[in-house]
Structure 1
Amino acid sequence: MKARFMKTALVTALTLCAATSYAKQEVTVYTAFETDILAKYKNAFEQENPDIAIKWVRDSTGIMTAKLLAEKNNPRAEVVWGLAGSSMALLKSEGILKSYTPQGLGELNNALNDPQASQAWFGNDAYFNAICFNDIVAKQLNLPKPTSWDDLTKPIYKGHIAMPNPASSGTGYMQVSAWLQNMGEDSAWKYMQKLDTNIAHYTHSGSKPCVQAGMGEVAIGISMASRGAKLKTQGAPLSLITPKGIGWESEAVGLVKDSDAAKRVVDWSISKNANELYIEMYPVVAHKEVVSEMKNFPNVKQVMAKMDFARMGDERADVLNKWSDKFDSKSEPKS
């Protein structure tokens, strides 16, 4: 009887130990990464960290930034991963992101990281805008290929252009900010007023205008260059046009809650293995040893706008309020 009791107790103890050892700690990660890559990043992280499970909360950059600001006094996120550098700068200034030095920081290109002291966010990749131009639709409609931003204001393009709403899309905001920073504020707002005359609609996704152009729903989409390159490689009849002053930004990671599991997510997100996944989607990544060329990606080095990410963060609310007052009536309904 005693032996049977001891055997039962031992089996119970071993079962509890096994359950404990395989119980995963869940980390809530807020992100604006495109939906179709989230499972890949989650699976790769969890394969190397089997005791931690990522719980994604995903939305576009503008909506995710607003959510984090609204939850400032009761944060629900533990990590922010894949959010625009300008948003990260704003979150840091609001005290939402914690200063942290992740393992492997010295292996990154520092140009994509928080430039201020007590760094709180770190680049994953850099992404760029482009004009996605459907050659077949343009031929049917006798639309000439634009070569400059000013070309897009010509009457011939009226109703043929889609662009992301900057209040809900980081891709949209970085182009609006590029115009403001490089044209000058008065000239940029006048330009956007003229451009709005030709806009068919504003989307709530940064990649959607290029997808719509690729499908022929519009002739022109101001959108993510990487999405355009991917669609072109898949056979979409697109030309990717990059006028001087093209908007760009980094996507970055930062710590919200100071836990060991959250820190491990941040550490892995800047690792070489993570960067080898980023480069499948983005042509420029943070890790110094990870370099590749994306097929059909345009040469953007000579046309990149000068971008001040801290300024983008500081001006964000005022710029978006002004933009929304002027142009939001053409935005697609939010799903």
Structure 2
Amino acid sequence: MYKTRGITSVLAGALMATSAMAETELTVYTAVEAEDLARYAATFNESNPDIKINWVRDSTGIITAKLLAERDNPQADVVWGLAATSLLLLKSEGMLEAYAPEGVGELDQKFVDKDTPPAWVGMDAWVASVCYNTVEAEKAGLTPPKSWQDLTDPQYAGHVIMPNPNSSGTGFLDVSSWLQIFGEEGGWAYMDALHGNIARYTHSGSKPCKLAAAGEIPIGISFAFRGAKSKAAGAPLEIIVPTEGVGWDMEATAIVAGTANLEAAQKLVDFTVTKGASEMYNTGYAVVAYPGVAKPVEHFPEGLLEAMIDNDFEFAANNRAAILKEWQSRYDGKSDPK
């Protein structure tokens, strides 16, 4: 009896050890909306049940800063869902493991890093827009803006919220796009004027639109899909596409150089470029990397895709630190506490 228990214990221990060895854990840094993470992991695990994802989630600026701070001692294996402008910066620092995932040739090549093999691969794109609460605006006696310049009109003083670009990818694409649309001098002059009307700067790109949808502010500078989602849920929103054009960025994926779990990381990146993955992204984004997948989005504003500027990602990435430093020195006094 004693011997049987001993053998059973040994076998059980061996089985547990084998099971533990069979499962690989990946630390994945992301700026994807928190509500989507469980779905992303579950869909990936349908075909890769032996790989467990441990998420580290925060806003784009925070994740980018964290990765840069860990440059000499990387803690992440994969970045899944971070702005392409951030990944271009990490690439320039030699922090990404170049890899051509299986099936990458099927993607719209605008979503793929130009190097061979690519250092990063895009997933989806999000596009700036203005969320305008028609009920609260009427109470305040406001008229709808048609352009970015309109938002500097004194009638909007204290009625506008936008994201802080140091913490929000949406905020950074706004600022970098205004510098491209209006030129460097004109861009900062525009932001000086806009700052006078800003009630506060949030640390989330979706929050200005959520606050506008909830009636806490008439105008939130955010991104279009968030507005469409809130409008579909019954919020009295008009989603405005400014006439000068709108900034945009794409979420992208990359392997962190030096990962000890390279094979599992490659399996994850292989999955991120599949048609099934783009179908999953399409539930949260109207523009995805795999051609022919995107379905029409209810309440998505007309003309938005045509209004997307010819975004200079290299400019945005190469000048990121200087842009953020200048923005902070001028406007950070109205930012929410961190």
Partner amino acid, structure 1, of 2:11:
A
Provide the residue aligned with 1:16 in structure 2. 14
Q: What are the superposed Cα offsets for residues 246-286 of structure 1, whole Å, 9 maximum, x if unpaired?
A: 11011000011261111111111121221111000100100
Identity of aligned residues (%): 49
Provide the residue aligned with 2:144 in structure 1. 145
- Taking structure 2 as the reference length, the TM-score comes to 0.94
- 8 A contact 1:181–1:306 mirrored in 2: no
Q: What are the superposed Cα offsets for residues 87-116 of structure 1, whole Å, 9 maximum, x if unpaired?
A: 010001101111111111111111012133
- Quick check: 1:125 aligned with 2:116? no
Partner amino acid, structure 1, of 2:263:
D
Structure 2 residues without counterparts, runs of 5 or longer? none
Question: Quick one: which of 321, 328, 332 aligns to 2:325?
Answer: 321
Q: What are the superposed Cα offsets for residues 277-306 of structure 1, whole Å, 9 maximum, x if unpaired?
A: 100010010012412111111131221122
In 2, Cα distance between the equivalents of 1:16 and 1:295? 54
My pick for the range that moved more, 5-14 or 313-322, is 5-14
Secondary structure at 1:301 match in 2: helix
| CA RMSD, Structure 1 to Structure 2 (Å) | 1.7
Secondary structure at 1:76 match in 2: coil
My pick for the range that moved more, 286-295 or 226-235, is 286-295
Once the two structures are TM-superposed, the CA of residue 18 in structure 1 deviates from its matched residue by 6.0
- Quick check: 1:85 aligned with 2:84? yes
In 2, Cα distance between the equivalents of 1:303 and 1:56? 34
Structure 1 residues without counterparts, runs of 5 or longer? none
- Taking structure 1 as the reference length, the TM-score comes to 0.95
Provide the residue aligned with 1:263 in structure 2. 266
Secondary structure at 2:97 match in 1: coil
Once the two structures are TM-superposed, the CA of residue 7 in structure 1 deviates from its matched residue by 9.6
Once the two structures are TM-superposed, the CA of residue 10 in structure 1 deviates from its matched residue by 7.3
- 8 A contact 1:169–1:206 mirrored in 2: yes
Provide the residue aligned with 1:309 in structure 2. 313
Provide the residue aligned with 1:61 in structure 2. 60
Q: What are the superposed Cα offsets for residues 152-175 of structure 1, whole Å, 9 maximum, x if unpaired?
A: 000000000000000100000001
Give the count of matched residue pairs: 332
In 2, Cα distance between the equivalents of 1:60 and 1:187? 28
- Quick check: 1:246 aligned with 2:263? no
Once the two structures are TM-superposed, the CA of residue 21 in structure 1 deviates from its matched residue by 3.6
In 2, Cα distance between the equivalents of 1:11 and 1:319? 61
Partner amino acid, structure 1, of 2:285:
Y
My pick for the range that moved more, 33-42 or 255-264, is 255-264
